[in-house]
Structure 1
Amino acid sequence: MNIGFRTYQWMYIIIATVISTVVLFYYAKAIPELIPNDNLTKEMIMCSGQLLWQGSIILIFIKRKIHTYLSHMITVSLLGSLALIPLIFLFQKEPISIETRILLFLLVVLAMIIEHARRVKKLALPSYLTITWITYRILWLPILLF
């Protein structure tokens, strides 16, 4: 049985989405003052919705490199999630203010934005993909916060 490269890409995308979902869920638990009503389903919808949102933009406007772009996009999300894991453990061990926890999260987000923009440029895709990626997350903020 010959499993193609695209099949492996989709398997990676699914696994990375699940890992990102779980990590974001636990990070949200570390900042209940800010995200009081989080649950795993909400995080899964947010993470997989990002794939649908960006995938739709690629299909409608660009019509190429969808598998490659989505693999890179989820890698950026996965790297951001992995960067949050030490913070989750730190927050469990040390009393750290909510402001510091938010600032640390925002630093990870900034690194993710820079990395996303770098990968989009490397793939020779339009830079507005980074803007639509950020827009999706901003649109989710009211859902997460309330």
Structure 2
Amino acid sequence: MKTLNDHLILYDADCPMCKAYTKAFTRSGMLGDGGRASYQNIPDEVCPLVDRQRAVNEIALVNTQTGEVSYGVESLFKVIGNSFPVFKPLFGFGPFIWLMKKVYAFISYNRRVIIPAAHEVQGIQPSFRLGYRLIYLVFTWLMVGSILTVYAHHLTPLVPLGDLLREYYICGGQVLFQGIVISLYRPAKRWEYLGNMMTISLAGALLLLPVLLVAKFVALTPIICTLCFLGVAGLMFLEHIRRTKLMQLGWLLTISWVVYRLLLLIVILN
């Protein structure tokens, strides 16, 4: 594997995903040992040509010899393409570049609600793009609804089976319900909270996939599937508490989150 020397990639120290994949670059030898640094700890005079705000939104790769700076997918393509030349034609293909830029932006502008920082962050923060946040909410809603629609068949007869769109209604209803609560309680945190809440829902749905996989080969009783579902719900509850604490939102939203689910359970069982 060829190492990209004389380059420095600037990652977000408050982004666990950014730290993980840039560390993978250096550990694997794709970048040199000193080939990564957090932009929060780099003095302006070290990288004078770096656009700080853009580097927060799109990871920057600096050529330490020429001072040339690339951002976002272009940075990643340079690192990966240098180590794996077979991908260079793909990385130069216009439609693929366009698609990857959209995917990168989708992840970058939502990264703080996908995996939040474990502490209060300071300094320049990622720009907020409402469009990308709405796309994220719709994406997670569709994913959660589709997984739970399949899983619902494994809960019968303990939990009555509804129509094909029931789980989509439930998930979308929670977004609206919690959206009203957060808008009345702390409107400035509305989109941050809703993004975090839907990440929790998506994580819970993904945790049910192994159960669905096992159920394809082993006959699982409704009781087992229900217990697995309740276990995942418990983990989601704990994660909701953790994230609302990080956002300094208190207990109100966790209480309303639970109340909504309990009310729905009563309606479904009756």
Give TM-score, length-normalised by structure 1.
0.91
Moved over 6 A (4+): none
Distance across 2 between alignment mates of 1:83 and 1:98: 17
Aligned length: 144
Contact 2:200 2:239 survives alignment (8 Å):
yes
Contact 1:16 1:78 survives alignment (8 Å):
yes
Give the secondary structure class of the aligned counterpart of 2:261.
helix
Could you tell me which of 158, 164, 167 is aligned with 1:34?
158
Contact 2:160 2:269 survives alignment (8 Å):
yes
Name the CA shift for 1:89/1:143 in 2 (closer, same or farther; >3 Å). farther
More helix by share: 1
Q: Once the 2 structures are TM-superposed, how far is the Cα of residue 19 of structure 1 from its aligned partner?
A: 0.4
Contact 2:152 2:161 survives alignment (8 Å):
no
Could you tell me which of 231, 254, 259 is aligned with 1:130?
254
Contact 2:140 2:202 survives alignment (8 Å):
yes
Q: Which residue is 1:113 aligned to?
A: 237
Kindly provide the CA deviation profile for residues 58-85 of structure 1, in whole angstroms up to 9, marking residues without a partner as x.
1112222101100000000000000011
Identity %: 33
Larger Rg: 2
Q: Once the 2 structures are TM-superposed, how far is the Cα of residue 95 of structure 1 from its aligned partner?
A: 1.8
Distance across 1 between alignment mates of 2:201 and 2:166: 16
Distance across 2 between alignment mates of 1:73 and 1:40: 23
Q: Which residue is 2:170 aligned to?
A: 46
Cα RMSD after superposing both structures: 1.6
Indicate whether 1:11 and 2:135 are aligned. Answer: yes
Contact 2:149 2:164 survives alignment (8 Å):
yes
Indicate whether 1:141 and 2:255 are aligned. Answer: no
Kindly provide the CA deviation profile for residues 103-140 of structure 1, in whole angstroms up to 9, marking residues without a partner as x.
11111001100001100000111222111101101111
Distance across 1 between alignment mates of 2:266 and 2:216: 26
Q: Which residue is 1:74 aligned to?
A: 198
Q: More deviation in 134-143 or 14-23?
A: 134-143
Q: Once the 2 structures are TM-superposed, how far is the Cα of residue 39 of structure 1 from its aligned partner?
A: 2.2
Structure 1: any 5+ residue segments left out of the alignment? Answer: none
Q: Which residue is 2:73 aligned to?
A: none
Q: More deviation in 42-51 or 69-78?
A: 42-51
Give TM-score, length-normalised by structure 2.
0.51
Contact 1:80 1:108 survives alignment (8 Å):
yes
Give the secondary structure class of the aligned counterpart of 1:94.
coil
Contact 2:158 2:223 survives alignment (8 Å):
no
Indicate whether 1:83 and 2:210 are aligned. Answer: no
More strand by share: 2
Give the secondary structure class of the aligned counterpart of 2:219.
coil
Q: Once the 2 structures are TM-superposed, how far is the Cα of residue 44 of structure 1 from its aligned partner?
A: 1.2
Structure 2: any 5+ residue segments left out of the alignment? Answer: 1-104, 106-127
Q: Once the 2 structures are TM-superposed, how far is the Cα of residue 101 of structure 1 from its aligned partner?
A: 1.5
* AA partner of residue 152 (structure 2): A
* AA partner of residue 143 (structure 2): I
Distance across 1 between alignment mates of 2:143 and 2:269: 21
